[in-house]
Structure 1
Amino acid sequence: MSKWSRVGSSYERPLGDSEYAFFPASQNGLGDMFLHLAFRGPEEAFHKERVKLGWGIIRQRNPLLMCKVLMDGDDLNTARFSFTPPSTPEDVLDEAGAALHFKNESKDELISNYMNGPRTLSNDHLSYLVISSSATSSETRSSGGVEYDLMMCAPHYTGDGTALHQSTHDLLCILTSTQTNEELRRELDGHRDWENVLPPAFETRLSTPSSAIRNAACKVNFLQTLGKEIGGHTFSRSQRGPQRTVLIEHAFSETQTANILAKCKANKVTVNHALSVLCNVAWARCTSQSMQLPMMMYTAINLRPHLTNPAPTHWFLALTYFNIVLPSFMPSSPAVFWHRARLVKAQTHRTVYSPFLVSRALQMASTRASRARGLPQPPSPVEALAPPAPSAALLGLSLIGNLDRTYIRASYPPSVQLHTVATASRMKPGGMLLLEHTFGSKLWLHLCWDEMGFEEGQVERFWEALKGTVEEFLC
């Protein structure tokens, strides 16, 4: 189950539970990820033929990008990855070229068209690369470089932000290296042991309980965890017109960021821990909702460190999710703010380092896949005895961390200057996600949301309050 098998000249495997959980919605484009990188680079490194070679190499190293999804008719339950190995370097280049586009659109145009326009990806095309530049040849000659916008796209069921960022860094390394095009082409000619490169579903690479007693304990722990996830705060959703997803960003200066990191360290937390409380404070300042119920936010856990038999590819999905629960009322002092940040740290550590993390991830994946398949969910023993407590999340947090550890500037020539990077996904009406990372020694916040899906002005007030709380408590 969820392992690759040979079918004629191709390899196939069913989608795993976590992959399938995203799949039905993806048929309407929901969850289609993108990464945008703005940078300056030498024109000769980004000629069409060289980019096609580099993109082909990335795809060979990460064959899930080259796959299709097959189904029996319209039966989503039969969805399976299908990979047909390329026979020659020309096949690799033709395949890469079909998923590569050169444009002259701006950053805002690229992102808006991807998020709000017709779906770019499909079951036949699981990845897509765009290189965009509006520079003229005279501007290039006078400046010695070109401003580029890069977009790399894939559906969420094939991977995550880790895969996007690492592959983008690898692509830049290939394109700006001293290797000639002919030398790059020779890499496409090498033999591949596809059975060991194609990634199995990550659930098959997690150790599972080895006894009936242990398995029962894991199920009890899963139910206990659900019982503690209480949240009663949500943004007021009001679809005021056709969906229009926007992405806004704010960067704090290098000096501010250094102060932020130092203050968090002095209080024995990270920026990620503090951000949850910043949202907590910003919401308390914006809302008129009752403060009796706590506030809840959800975020993801990267399970790659827990996998056995690591695959030699970046592209596979290995995530699970957990909720952070905090009091909804305003902290009465900076000391209380930092106390709440340490509460977030304690909740996170209890989840990440729990001996039940893997079992909870597997059960959550199974539950989400069953829900995606439309299967009825039986009530838990707790729900059978009493109505469940409210479990609404205010918003999702994508806490990416320090991307300067991924985009290692020393790997590129000095002529390459990275400006900004952002990731997000196509959303349903009324969707929202807050993202945070450090890049270029600056702390960045991104908010992605349907600006027509909420009460007018509500999200904008929250965004301004959030930026203000960073400067008040951290700078």
Structure 2
Amino acid sequence: MSWTLEDGSYQRLLGDSEYALFLGSQSAVGDMFLHMTLRAPTHCFREERVRIAWSLIRRRNPLLMSKVIISDEVDMSSARFVFNPPSNSEEAIQEAAAALRFSQETKDELISTYMDGTRVLSSDYLSYLIVAESERSTSGDISKYDLLMCAPHFIGDGTALHQSTHELLSLISSNKADAELLRDLDVAQIWLNVLPLNFESRLSVPSSAFARAACKINYLNTLRREIGGHTFSRIQRGPKRTVVEEYEFSQAQTSLILANCKAHGVTVNHALVALCNIAWSRCTSQSPKLPIMLYTAANLRTHLTPHPSTSYWYLALGYFTISLPAFMPPENAGAWHRARLAKTQMQSAVRSPLLPARSLLAAASRARRVLSPSSPSSAFVPPSSDSPDLPKRPDASAALLGISLIGDLDRTYVRSSYGPGVDLLSVMTASRLKAGGLLLLGHSFGGRLVLQLCWDSMGFAEGQVANFWTAFTSAVPEFLC
């Protein structure tokens, strides 16, 4: 789906994956945030300079400035992005200022309000930035800041959030004067070369009828292998109350963990999936006859056909599952074997040449659940789930939880890109949950492995998630150190 210019506005319909996530976003589900704590010279975070830098980030990524318009409230297929480009730097700064707030809230206050309070984002504001100054040095020239950058999941992912935050810090701490940054806002722009297409239109898929049929069979066979029989006991005991837990390992522990993973032929992500599996095995009384299934996402950006846009704000994710035995491995070596099983499944999913076709079919299937049957789809349509001679999704196909392992963020936050005095302390991302939601996250930052668990404390049997979290964080030093 391409962009069109109508009466000064650029417009395009949402793609399948965007549609599927957009519906949930109407009740704030999936609204992402990135929180960062840092120390920096106070002159970097002057309000005017932050406004200019935020304007430049938005200029590079027009979806952050766009709106979503729905012509027909009954037929969601009418939902489309609408982008009205600012005509000059003054207008760009005014536009950015409307999606920016300065405060003195703490980290906990920012996150709690965002996750459970009144929605910050809307169809008119697809991004928002909060800059909170929490403490200032006695000399007055250095302050501690908490940043909260927000966007709905249907326009991007955690990678885009991290890249935007890195570029924002690079801009505000650069040696460029405000006037120089302002001149960058006035450079002429060919917006059709910047506005991103929906990712489904940039995936190459087979064109012949036989190849398409083969892709559909492969897609259904993949669904047939999604076997899982373990779930948390979801009991909604009251209004959603989000808890975000963090567990950070020292640099020495992290170095040892990475070395041990390398020696056993796996990455830390493979090992964490295995330990999630082992931790649940220790907590549950559910039958070990069925495996434990987790779901996660695959970044599809490397599979996209070239496009002139340099914007990194667009959605390009596919999803897959990992199923591992539910019984405890007999000894420490069994944990490494479990990690290698996770590696095999994860690599098989992300390296498969059929991943683009499977992702298109899955996106079309998700979109079909929220769109009217007559609504157009940008991908070829998956076969009906009740086709008599085709593989079926198994009856036991429940995932325990979602896991998001973004990797080494020190590759994104290149410290040498920032001006003197900028000291990054911590970073985290998560998404606003539905009632009974649960998400496990992991990354490394500043040479330290960081684990996070985000869940609705009122959506589960009391103590069950906390017990799992204790078992999981205890398993890391037990098996990996």
Q: Normalising by the residue count of structure 1, what TM-score does the alignment of the two structures yield?
A: 0.97
- 1:166-245 map, 5 Å: 166-245=163-242
CA-CA distance at 1:52 after TM superposition: 0.1
Task: Give the match for residue 249 of structure 2.
Answer: 252
Tell me the distance in 2 between the aligned counterparts of 1:112 and 1:261. 33
CA-CA distance at 1:7 after TM superposition: 1.1
Task: Give the match for residue 359 of structure 2.
Answer: 361
Task: Give the match for residue 163 of structure 1.
Answer: 160
Report whether the alignment pairs 1:58 with 2:64. Answer: no
Tell me the distance in 2 between the aligned counterparts of 1:77 and 1:209. 26
The 3 A distance-change label for structure 1 pair 174 and 250 is same
Q: Which stretch of the first structure deviates more once superposed, 369-378 or 415-424?
A: 369-378
Name which of 398, 407, 410 aligns with 2:404.
Answer: 398
Q: Tell me the secondary structure at the aligned position of residue 134 of structure 2.
A: coil
Say whether the 8 Å CA contact 1:69–1:124 is kept in structure 2: yes
Report whether the alignment pairs 1:418 with 2:417. Answer: no
Calculate percent identity across the aligned residue pairs. 56
The 3 A distance-change label for structure 1 pair 117 and 456 is same
CA-CA distance at 1:116 after TM superposition: 0.2
Tell me the distance in 2 between the aligned counterparts of 1:309 and 1:384. 35
- Which amino acid in 2 is paired with 1:466? F
CA-CA distance at 1:372 after TM superposition: 2.3
Task: Give the match for residue 466 of structure 2.
Answer: 460
- Which amino acid in 2 is paired with 1:282? A
Say whether the 8 Å CA contact 2:69–2:80 is kept in structure 1: yes
- 1:53-92 map, 5 Å: 53-75=52-74, 76-92=76-92
Task: Give the match for residue 332 of structure 1.
Answer: 330
Tell me the distance in 1 between the aligned counterparts of 2:107 and 2:258. 29
Tell me the distance in 1 between the aligned counterparts of 2:143 and 2:463. 38
Task: Give the match for residue 26 of structure 1.
Answer: 25
Report whether the alignment pairs 1:449 with 2:455. Answer: yes
Say whether the 8 Å CA contact 2:99–2:128 is kept in structure 1: yes
Tell me the distance in 1 between the aligned counterparts of 2:388 and 2:25. 33
Q: Normalising by the residue count of structure 2, what TM-score does the alignment of the two structures yield?
A: 0.96
Say whether the 8 Å CA contact 1:223–1:380 is kept in structure 2: no
Say whether the 8 Å CA contact 2:401–2:439 is kept in structure 1: yes
- Which amino acid in 1 is paired with 2:149? M
Task: Give the match for residue 8 of structure 1.
Answer: 7
CA-CA distance at 1:73 after TM superposition: 4.2
- Which amino acid in 2 is paired with 1:112? S
- Which amino acid in 1 is paired with 2:125? H
CA-CA distance at 1:466 after TM superposition: 0.4
Report whether the alignment pairs 1:270 with 2:267. Answer: yes
- Which amino acid in 1 is paired with 2:236? Q
Moved over 4 A (4+): 374-377, 382-387
CA-CA distance at 1:334 after TM superposition: 1.5
Q: Which runs of 5+ in 1 are unaligned?
A: none
RMSD of the TM alignment (CA)? Answer: 1.5
Tell me the distance in 2 between the aligned counterparts of 1:384 and 1:417. 56
Task: Give the match for residue 38 of structure 1.
Answer: 37
CA-CA distance at 1:374 after TM superposition: 6.2
Tell me the distance in 1 between the aligned counterparts of 2:43 and 2:393. 64
Name which of 292, 300, 304 aligns with 1:295.
Answer: 292
Tell me the distance in 2 between the aligned counterparts of 1:424 and 1:205. 27
Q: Tell me the secondary structure at the aligned position of residue 34 of structure 1.
A: strand
The 3 A distance-change label for structure 1 pair 383 and 260 is farther
Say whether the 8 Å CA contact 1:302–1:319 is kept in structure 2: yes
Q: Deviations over 1:253-273 (max 9, x none)?
A: 000000000000000000110
CA-CA distance at 1:212 after TM superposition: 1.3
CA-CA distance at 1:309 after TM superposition: 1.3
Say whether the 8 Å CA contact 2:227–2:394 is kept in structure 1: no
Q: Deviations over 1:190-235 (max 9, x none)?
A: 0111001000001111111121111111111001110011000000
Q: Tell me the secondary structure at the aligned position of residue 148 of structure 2.
A: strand
- Which amino acid in 2 is paired with 1:53? I
CA-CA distance at 1:345 after TM superposition: 0.8
Q: Deviations over 1:99-144 (max 9, x none)?
A: 0000100000000000000111000010000000133xxx434364
Tell me the distance in 2 between the aligned counterparts of 1:39 and 1:150. 8
Say whether the 8 Å CA contact 1:103–1:133 is kept in structure 2: yes
Q: Deviations over 1:315-337 (max 9, x none)?
A: 00000100000000001112211
Q: Deviations over 1:132-190 (max 9, x none)?
A: 0133xxx4343641000001000000100010000100000000000000001000000
Q: Tell me the secondary structure at the aligned position of residue 405 of structure 2.
A: strand
Say whether the 8 Å CA contact 1:42–1:416 is kept in structure 2: yes
